[in-house]
Structure 1
């Protein structure tokens, strides 16, 4: 069967209905239906912008042959009068797994899997471009029914498994035809994601940044393979090259990953179509700049049950805002002219699709834009714009017949035609029998209420205000009503049947009583059915709250702008030879420090009176893990190819908290899961900006190395090499040796670019600096010797809690130190840590910094620096340098930040007290002339946040009282991140 489908995929990519006429027919006379069906007097939406009033169109053999105000009617035509009805193109869903069985999960194993299990394919099992949806597809009538009910005629389906997932197929949801007739394109698009295949246990990658690095390497390898350099056959790379001209659809599940996918695409000149998250409204500028078409799920968060005030306090403002703002996402995308399509992915198509679509329209999405997102936009996206999504000559006969405006709740969808085949969803001639009636039968009168829609009618019968059991069915204008006996001790029934006339004021029919006797009954209408507007529940939350940057608590309503500022009469801690200057002015212009001294003329700059206050350079944290969506790529013993820049999270509240602690620059380090970790990201803490805008562009590249318990997996199970400290040394030696050999092979004709080797070669050539996690003196000595053997120096030992033992050797090697002030005893290898470590290393002539490795400690690095005044008698100025100019020197950015000096970037902090005091608070924190933290604004924001929370809670309480379904509150603690976190950051 699979082979047959594969053959069909090759030959039927552009198949037409009944294209299998060349097959022999052995069960009767072979005939071909060439009759036309003509529809007249319809209101025809030929596309989202054009409507033909009282129009006509004809179809035959699955295609539309004519459409217009008036058309010639062929002789062999069936004519259907659609007076009072409307016709729309049927819908297209570009992201589906329709007809695809769930991928089988790999069996669990006792040890990690490091090598690929698929022979003859790529070295990583999660790269599966050879997967063909057509070889797995089987039409699912039950699921197709749900799509039909929602108005869909075509889906783009794929196997939702792996990072590069292979080719999807375009399928018409045509009932009662062969599989081959349904296939519009056997290879319609290629799908990608950042999620691993469930069919493999292969460990790598374990992170988002690992998945991104793997995609990059696969693209490079595919190009290399296509050029004929490979000595072996790789079926996966062949498939990847075969798929490169297909539409590329990238599946993501959060806003940051949407932009990460676009970043990879831009690097390789690929424009992805991106499965979005529904949160694009939070960064419309980025969505617009991506030039992507977004496939947006029609899924909105439910209101929270906030009746318990203690539980309500656990809700974040971000979660509450999302409930309020998400339904307006499509409206905002439309206003920004960001192209998008709609998908039923992650919702119940039959139950939730139209409800949520109408909600989006209620929130401002124009109906024409909604129709375009379901028809012409997806058709254009997959190069089917003249065949699908329109009612025009030559297009597939895929259309809907409705009772009126599809985008109104009361409208009934009668029929969904796909490839000229009719799927009846509700009788087009059905009489509306909803209402309140008096039912008279066998001398008794009952109250009868009929409600619902023609597809799902419900009955309610009462006598003497007591409800009795009833069951109603209504089909082809025949009503069948079953009444239970009012006597609950009996199981007798009265059966009523009647043919309902077009006028439903009175219905008469036959009744079969409990004893089997026949009689008649009458149903006389007392009043019309109550028209319930379920949308009124949601209209009350139309008070949309404004989006901020980022869209969480303490975000900016508009991005802060650079200012020219004069700080007057401050105590200035220069962190330079000038030391601490009293009553000094500092002038900032265009993001730089331009003048330092007394009596400076403001020259139009904003003046801030800093009398009695202290002005310092912004704190630099050499070792941080805030603002990241992942910390470790633990799948290999070297992950030099991964980039922390790929997983920067600009919405992390710790950015704001660090600014409130005076921190302006950090090195976002990879974790310590492996000896050779990933590439660092040096960031400016620009709260409210994008991930790219936070990158410290002038900073040189760094990489994280690690030694000790973590890399040899002492504290968690794992079968990966290395398992000993000797093995750790061998890892470094092996990779550096391989990099040397790699460099020498660059002139070979079959040279293959390896991102991991390229990075390690940068280290050997002095183009990338190493910051190494370290504890034990023996390993510290080992790494310095290995580096010297390969002709380079380690730049920084971070943690370095036994640095005081080997400070002389470190000085000789030329390595700096970034340490904790007084952390010890949290694991065995720190047993010899002492609080005098920083002072001893400083006295030995090393450049020493105090770092955090912790989102909480980083807010108090000024106090951490102060501890060395007590432990070791360090001067206040030298202690302060350990969190400003010294870490800047270690990061090779001391020419730009880390001190107050003319010509440097204006990264400044104004403190209300001595900066080493436990009572000191930053009043203002500036990055490149922009105030990203202001204590006065913070105070006002706290009031506004309380007000906004109360407003949102009031909205949710009102929604619940109006019957809106709510969700329970789940308390989630913020994940604290350190070097050894082996999972994605939530």
Structure 2
């Protein structure tokens, strides 16, 4: 007795001590279970493509010892017969935030932006946080683990999703009992994203282009730092260097962002694993050409509730179409050879994973490919193929046991073993008791019908004369619990039945009556369960709407190609010395203007009768803000010369198509006017359906946006306490002077370093100063937002001090006051036709501004700065005739040849000259007429807008909407979840638009 008490005391003491970690336990003296566990007679998938029938799996100490058909079973083995069952490797999700808390802003309601970091010893930008390590704050989340285990997952990668450089992630085994084994790798991934940190109030970056510029600067700084050029230690760059060999996962959340991240990777020789969002199919050729591996969510949008026809009209066709097409994404990626893993990310509930994946399989996604995307591919991405993702010898014993083929709706997942530890999802030993029984409880006899599924049976009890009896029924681990309430008894007078299932043919147990009496109950099966044959055919998925280029309204069924076109007998506005020609032909061939003249012929050409119509070169908009993603202004600093609009061209913007319908073929996409020195511009050709990079004008001259006036000093930002310098017009001048001087000194330091055979410590590459140095060296041109004469004169004086000139003053609404000084300086003007008095600094604007500057001898263009105006610039040009008596031919040059001259591309475009690009518009009337319509808009021989095809597209859109509405109504009628219709408000960017 004393010995027993002593053992009990020691047991309690040691348990308590161990739990509190008062001293370490020497594992070498602990008893370890060295028994083997053997699973026999199972169908085993060692890998998705290696299948063993009637196989044996042998595991010990959490690892696979052997797998095959002729396995020698050790004596100290526990054998589990899995006759009729199937074993698969457990799934892997390498992109989660399992066990981590996403940082929440602790900045309060402060509106004052921070321009310099408060962190000492770290990188200058607080959204760059590579020193963050997930393992340091990770807490195992058992409830979430159970959700994932039930879905078939055994291993997850997790990280803290905060910032642009987010730090390292870990690999976790979902082993609910072995805390010491849960973290497989504490630093396995390095994470990046296009997102600001929630933990900073730093103003920069405030836009997507700012984030891309910051990434470039970060990598340049890293290279410079690793070469020992820095005088001080930077803990962020140290961490970034240490993380270089880890798997680099970049969260993009959009197909175009994936292309942008791939662009950064290519520039710096990096390999990113791109975490997309499910719309990759819309630009599959470009996605494929990145050669990147992807992580793809299995999350599909719900159908819209379109029962109200008025509300349904608010839904964009693009959104309706995406609902229809999204389930085909995995098939399209797979068919195009894109390697990808799957993730539960973006799911509302983890339990939605299997239904969504089965839906993708219905849409054609191969089951073997699906299994690879959940096992061997994520394992290979992480470099852990020898440990997880398969059941090869030496791998972790991570596997699921199922009733059959894993991607079948009726398959039951019984158990999920992780590192040899069993997690029960459904009882594998449950006996099938379905059928009809005679139930006897004391003197009472009932009819008992048990249906449903073997794993989740349903019960119904009736009297012998078929009257339904109130009852509740449950089965757990082969134990039956049954409550019966006969109709003739009082309200709470239940009879409680329990019993263990030994033989399904004959059930028995103990019955306890309301008065406490106990009796034995029995149930004898009278007939076996017969499943009702499913006569309903397997439901076919909705017909998938074909993808268009771009995949929005008015997209084309296939990518457009150049044609040979011959326009006959048109009025041709050449913009050359020949002037306006009547009854003249224009031949377009190989993307160029091949001939302009009379009686032209070409056997290979499509002949177009243009009699009574007009042909011009395409309109060029020198100042536009359409088709830009996530911010037209990078307003975080007073100089952001490092950012470029070329990074953020949005090829899906419907305004591109509208511009084409208005005869616009080329635009300069400008940074906004939030800061004195803005970002670099993008000159684009509106090749509708092409990818963003394909739209960029080839070998384009370098431009940058500067700004003067109210915007840059924050006078109209709507904030009570602006904090950023400058806040006065004299401060604006000082910004220019300071940055030009800094850039000059920066340029000289590099010239000195290069002249010295690059010996010693190299200067730090500064993308901002590098760009401004290009201006000083006359390699980059300034387009400057301007209004007031004093500021116009100021900037010309400042630039002349540094021996270069402003290229273009845009807006320039007081240009008429200083046209002579502008002529002397050598600057051009891109202005509005008749905008005035829309803010204080525009009060002196007059509609004669453009003609006055033109008559002074300046190159004058009219621009839009507005999505609506850009599609009717032909009418803006006509106002030069109205207000200034400018000739029609010269007025037309305001929107064609003159902006081409300002952009330094007039050798290729802007007029109809043999050898120039075939950027041509066919008009129904004089292009300066308000009645003129662009009938065909052609870029490099490709017809991107055709008025007849446009009418056909409008009819097709109406038909497609009706089809999709019908499909969505069917979804609702089936009782499936729907989402309310929403109208998406689109931001049309202007110079002063600030991203929220």
Q: TM-score, normalised by structure 1?
A: 0.94
Give the match for residue 723 of structure 2.
Answer: 719
User: 1:436 and 1:856 mapped to 2: Cα distance?
Assistant: 73
Alignment of 1:477-516 (within 5 A): 477-483=478-484, 490-501=491-502, 503=504, 507-516=507-516
Corresponding position: 1:370 with 2:370: yes
Contact 1:92–1:155 (Cα < 8 Å) also in 2: yes
Change (3 A) 1:592 1:523: farther
Give the deviation of 1:254 after TM superposition: 1.5
Q: Distance in 1 between matches of 2:779 and 2:788?
A: 27
Q: Paired residue for 2:390?
A: 390
Kept in 1: contact 2:643–2:680 (CA 8 A): yes
Q: Which residue of 1 aligns with 2:583?
A: 583
Check the 8 A contact 1:625/1:631 in 2, yes or no. yes
Q: Secondary structure at the match of 2:380?
A: helix
Contact 2:805 2:826 in 1 (8 A): yes
SS of equivalent residue, structure 2 residue 66: strand
Question: Pick from 728, 732, 736: which aligns with 1:728?
Answer: 732
Measured at CA, do residues 696 and 530 of structure 1 come closer, stay the same or move farther in structure 2, by a change above 3 Å?
farther
Q: Is the 8 A contact 1:106 1:201 kept in 2?
A: no
Per mean C-alpha deviation after superposition, the further-off stretch among 433-442 and 642-651 is 433-442
Q: In 2, distance between residues paired with 1:848 and 1:515? A: 102
Query: Kindly tell me: are residues 458 and 916 of structure 1, through their superposed partners in 2, closer, same or farther at Cα, counting changes over 3 Å?
Result: farther
Q: In the alignment, which residue of structure 1 is the partner of 2:989?
A: 977
Name the counterpart of 1:265: 265
- CA offset digits 1:822-870 (Å, max 9, x no partner): 1222211111111111111111111111111111110100011111211
The corresponding residue for 2:74 is 74
Residue 98 of structure 1 corresponds to: 98
State how far apart, in whole Å, the 1-side matches of 2:533 and 2:887 are. Answer: 76
Matches within 5 A, 1:28-427: 30-108=30-108, 109-178=110-179, 180-348=180-348, 350-427=350-427
Q: CA deviation at 1:427?
A: 1.1
2:828 corresponding residue in structure 1: 816
Q: 1:963 aligns with which of 975, 980, 983?
A: 975
Secondary structure of 1:772's counterpart equals strand
Tell me the CA shift for residue 508 of structure 1.
3.9
What is the distance in 2 between the residues matched to 1:517 and 1:313?
67
Cα pair distance change 1:438/1:599, threshold 3 Å: farther
Q: Does 1:798 align with 2:810?
A: yes
The whole-number CA distance in structure 2 between the counterparts of 1:827 and 1:785 is 26
Match of 2:794 among 747, 768, 782: 782
- In structure 2, the partner of 1:706 is 707
Work out the CA distance in 2 between the residues paired with 1:438 and 1:708.
Answer: 92
Q: Distance in 2 between matches of 1:69 and 1:308?
A: 61
Distance 2:197 2:879 in 1: 49
> Mean Cα displacement is larger for which, 597-606 or 621-630?
597-606
Tell whether 2:544 aligns with 1:517. Answer: no
Tell me the CA shift for residue 215 of structure 1.
0.7
* Alpha-carbon contact 1:572-1:582 (below 8 Å) kept: yes
Partner residue of 2:474? 473
Aligned-pair CA distance for 1:514: 3.0
Distance in 1 (alpha carbons) for counterparts of 2:438 and 2:985: 59
Are the structure 2 counterparts of residues 557 and 49 from structure 1 closer, same or farther at C-alpha, using a change threshold of 3 Å?
A: same
Residue 543 (structure 1) shift? 1.0
User: What's the CA shift string for 1:86-131, capped at 9, x where partnerless?
Assistant: 0101111110111112213232324111111221100001001111
- Tell me, yes or no, if the aligned pair for 2:254 and 2:280 is still in contact at 8 Å: no
Is 1:926 aligned to residue 938 of structure 2? yes
- Measured after TM superposition, the shift of residue 262 of structure 1 is 0.9
C-alpha distance in 2 between matches for 1:459 and 1:277:
44
Q: 1:458·1:471 contact (CA, 8 Å) conserved in 2?
A: no
The Cα offsets for residues 721-758 of structure 1, whole Å up to 9 and x where unpaired, read as 11111111111111111101111221352310001111
Q: Distance in 2 between matches of 1:938 and 1:436?
A: 66
Distance 1:926 1:530, change over 3 A: farther
Distance 1:533 1:792 in 2: 82
CA RMSD of aligned residues (A): 2.4
C-alpha distance in 1 between matches for 2:742 and 2:215: 22
Partner of 2:872, secondary structure, is helix
TM-aligned CA distance change 1:28 to 1:783, over 3 Å: closer
Q: Distance in 2 between matches of 1:142 and 1:129?
A: 29
Query: Is the counterpart of residue 750 in structure 1 residue 762 in structure 2?
Result: yes
1:697 to 2:676 alignment: no
- Offset of residue 760 of structure 1: 0.6
Structure 1 distance, partners of 2:266, 2:533, is: 49
Q: Could you say what secondary structure the match of 1:124 adopts?
A: coil
Q: Of 737, 740, 745, which residue of structure 1 is paired with 2:744?
A: 740
Is the partner of 1:386 in helix, strand or coil? coil
**Native 8 Å contact 1:435 1:451 kept in 2:** no
Shift of 1:572: 0.3
What's the CA shift string for 1:351-387, capped at 9, x where partnerless? 1111111111111111100000000101111111122
CA distance in 2, matches of 1:265, 1:983: 26
Deviates more, 1:814-823 or 1:526-535: 526-535
* 1:682 matches 2:690: no
Q: Is the 8 A contact 1:281 1:329 kept in 2?
A: yes
1:7 aligns to what? none
Cα distance change on mapping 1:867 and 1:460 into 2, 3 Å: farther
Matches within 5 A, 1:941-952: 941-952=953-964
Q: Distance in 1 between matches of 2:299 and 2:535?
A: 17
TM-score (norm 2): 0.93
Contact 1:439 1:448 in 2 (8 A): no
Q: In the aligned structure 2, how far is the partner of 1:340 from the partner of 1:698?
A: 35
* SS of 1:209 mapped into structure 2: helix
- 1:71 positional shift: 0.9
C-alpha distance in 1, partners of 2:687/2:935?
17
Change in CA separation of 1:980 and 1:483 when aligned onto 2, cut-off 3 Å: farther
**2: CA distance, partners of 1:794 / 1:253:** 39
Larger mean Cα displacement after TM superposition, 82-91 or 422-431? 422-431
Tell me how far apart the structure 2 counterparts of residues 28 and 239 of structure 1 sit (CA, whole Å).
36
The superposition leaves residues 192-234 of structure 1 with CA deviations (integer Å, 9 ceiling, x where unpaired) of: 0000111111111011111111111011101111111111110
Distance 2:390 2:80 in 1: 20
- CA apart distance, 1:495: 2.1
Q: Mark the CA change 1:974 to 1:508 in structure 2 (over 3 Å): closer, same or farther.
A: same
Instruction: Decide whether aligned partners of structure 1 residues 468 and 631 sit closer, same or farther in structure 2, where only a CA change above 3 A counts.
Output: farther
Show CA shifts across 1:781-804 (max 9, x none): 111111111111111111111111
* 1:242 CA displacement: 0.7
Distance 1:761 1:470 in 2: 85
The verdict on how the C-alpha distance between 1:477 and 1:851 changes in structure 2, with shifts beyond 3 A counting, is same
Runs of 5+ in structure 1 lacking a partner? 1-22
Secondary structure (helix, strand or coil) at the match of 1:909 reads: strand
Return the alpha-carbon distance in structure 1 between the equivalents of residues 911 and 536 of structure 2.
59
Q: 1:169 to 1:436 in 2, by over 3 A?
A: farther
Report if the CA contact (8 A) 1:509-1:522 is conserved: no
| Contact map agreement 2:565 2:605 (CA 8 A) in 1 | yes
Is residue 451–residue 529 contact of structure 2 (8 Å, CA) maintained in 1? no
Residue 74 of structure 1: CA displacement?
1.5
